[in-house]
Amino acid sequence: MNCQSGLPLSRYSVAELHREVVQRGWVASIGNTTLWRWLNEDAICPWRHRRWIFPRAPAVEEKAGRVLDLYQGLWEGRALAAEDCVISADEKTSIQARRRPYDTVPPGPAQPMRVEHDSERRGAWVYLAAWDVRRAKIHGRCERQSGIAPFDRLVDQVMSQPPYQSAPRVFWIVDNGSAHRGPRCVERLRRKWPNLIVVHTPAHASWLNQIEIYFSIVQRKALTPNNFRSLAELQDRLIGFGQHYEQIAHPFQWKFTRRDLKHLLARIEPWHLLISKAA
């Protein structure tokens, strides 16, 4: 609507929509409440939006399919052995310790929790974590910065203990971040841990990595609101939450399969072609 009207707006308020429909003669008279009710009940809600990235990496179906197969207990068309392990790993960067000048006020009757807006930054951690997809175990560590060396320390932390040390195969699902990108990563880790198999997600497909689900849980349950006196206190929270979560965790009920991926790619292909031509 904004392109046709020429107004410098990306979103309309109800009052602006009311003014627009009256000026165009679509209705002679209508109240704001009625207009909002009509819009809210309609199947298309133009004021809503969400961000997403078109799957456009080369061989996206093949690369994503390998990850989805692992979640289904398959590799190269064959069932995984019971002793095989599947690890989903990544890093959550720049988790800041913010010290509030006043204590958080707990919630009361008809009163939400109150968190002081101002804060003093006490530093930040990179939280590296590895989620055992089949066994619902979490392994984590805090590092001052991200990079190859910190990620390799996470790998060593996991692979040096049972059952991973003696497992026939340990699949590590990772994205294309600089710490674990490309053939060099595959060669580096396989040279030290011969039973380790790196499986990269396609570019712009972090939603395929189950560790992102765990990171969202950490953010909601352990880091919000953010009020930590020191980096040590923040580290204790991150590691302690992982230990707590293991006691109640179950493998994530991942339902998106290769068939769903194929349907998704077929559905968005016309839009993908349209946008590619426009670009």
Per-residue pLDDT 10s for the chain (279 aa) are 444 567 787 777 888 888 888 888 888 888 888 888 888 888 777 677 777 666 666 788 899 999 999 999 999 999 999 999 999 999 999 999 988 888 888 888 988 888 888 878 889 999 999 999 999 999 999 999 999 999 999 999 999 999 999 999 999 999 999 999 999 999 999 999 999 999 999 988 888 999 999 999 999 999 999 889 999 999 999 999 999 999 999 999 999 999 999 888 888 777 655 555 555
Q: Same domain, yes or no, for 93 and 212?
A: yes
Q: Same domain, yes or no, for 19 and 115?
A: no
Q: Same domain, yes or no, for 122 and 207?
A: yes
Q: Same domain, yes or no, for 30 and 137?
A: no
Does residue 133 lie within any of the structural domains?
yes
CATH number at residue 201: 3.30.420.10
Q: Sign of the CA dihedral 153, 135, 243, 207?
A: positive
Q: Same domain, yes or no, for 118 and 233?
A: yes
Does residue 128 lie within any of the structural domains?
yes
Q: How many domains does the chain have?
A: 2
Q: What is the pLDDT of residue 52?
A: 66
Q: What is the pLDDT of residue 122?
A: 85
pTM: 0.82
Alpha-carbon gap, residue 162 to 195, rounded angstroms: 13
Alpha-carbon gap, residue 121 to 230, rounded angstroms: 9
Q: Same domain, yes or no, for 25 and 66?
A: no
Q: Same domain, yes or no, for 168 and 34?
A: no
Range of the domain at 30: 2-41
Burial 239-271 (b: 16+ CB within 10 A, else e): eebbeebeeebeeeeeeeebeebeeeeeeeeee
Q: Same domain, yes or no, for 129 and 245?
A: yes
Does residue 272 lie within any of the structural domains?
no
